[in-house]
Amino acid sequence: MWTTEVKLRILAEVETSGSGVAEIARRHDILPQQIRKHLIGRLAVSATNSPPCLC
């Protein structure tokens, strides 16, 4: 079982390392789909918490 801290650290690695999702997944012995699932979830949460567009 992965702790929230570990998941966040892996997601941060994807966003800051310049490495691809597949490479980072191999480093942590997980599937790339698992990382993508959490990235998509993270984007959805940030989109719903963002202020309304004043366009």
Q: Write out the H or E segment, with its range, that includes residue 26.
A: helix 21-27
Please tell me the distance from the alpha carbon of residue 23 to that of residue 55, in angstroms, as a whole number.
Answer: 39
Euclidean distance between CA atoms 19 and 8, whole angstroms = 16
pTM for this entry: 0.69
**pLDDT tens profile 1-38:** 678 888 889 989 998 998 999 999 999 999 999 988 88
Q: What's the confidence (pLDDT) of residue 55?
A: 40
